[in-house]
Amino acid sequence: MGLAELLLGGEHQVRDIVIRFPKSSDYFRSRRIDFCCGGNRPLQEAVEEKGLTLEEVLNDLRQMVNEHPTAKEENDYTRWNSCDLIAHIVNKHHAYLRQELPHIEQNVNKVFRVHGQDEAHLAEVHRLFGQLKAELLEHTEKEEAEVFPKMVNWETAREPETLVKLQASIAELEAEHDKAGSILKEIRALTQDFTPPAHACTTYRITYSRLEELEEMTFQHVHLENNILFPRYE
């Protein structure tokens, strides 16, 4: 199905639009429309949940298509074989988490320590981030040690037993994605869309910016897995 057909109405799934037109992920993110964990539902349903009109969203997406008529070939991950896609996820997204989470944690801890007594929401942000960090790092370790090797094995050997184990593992990973997405949504709500208060110091502002970047990177990460990689093993 062509992109133009996907944008005729609201019955097609959000994830199908993002897969066909990756640039649309920027738009969905700006409108707070979930395209990764919650991307497997009709566009109309996702739009109405946010209080938007379907025609407004479709018009915006069509305009984006006109301005960006073709996706860059190197970013059309649907064309990548699974081994290359897995390597990209590990080298970009897993590496990002391992490098950045400790630094974000330092910032979150400092802001909570300095401002937490006067701003109660920071205690919850601190708690949620600690939970998110632990779960994301455990998640990436599981993927690299257990799941991704099975995927590579399946690509070469095609053993039915491997596929059965893979499908069970993928169900667990998708549940973990949902949980991480929910935590990030809670953090966004607590921080009022990562908007620091007027009195915020530089560290406070940097912390919110890095949390927002973490959300964006996590959504990209989950999109590649839930919507492109995992369906190959259904």
pLDDT digits (tens, 9 = 90+) for 18-59: 888 877 888 998 999 988 878 889 999 999 999 999 999 999
28's CB contacts (< 8 A; 6+ apart) are 14, 18, 34, 35
**Two structure tokens written together for 158:** 């095609």
Average pLDDT over the chain, rounded to an integer: 91
In this predicted structure, the answer to whether residue 74 has a pLDDT above a threshold of 60 is: no
Contact yes or no for 69/23 (Cβ under 8 A): no
Mean pLDDT of the 113-138 span: 96
Give the pTM: 0.79
The pLDDT value recorded for residue 36 is 83
The pLDDT value recorded for residue 1 is 65
User: Residue 55: how many CA atoms within 13 Å on its side-chain side?
Assistant: 0
Contact yes or no for 190/125 (Cβ under 8 A): yes
| 3-class secondary structure, 13 | strand
Q: Quick one: angle between helices 160-190 and 202-223, nearest 10?
A: 150
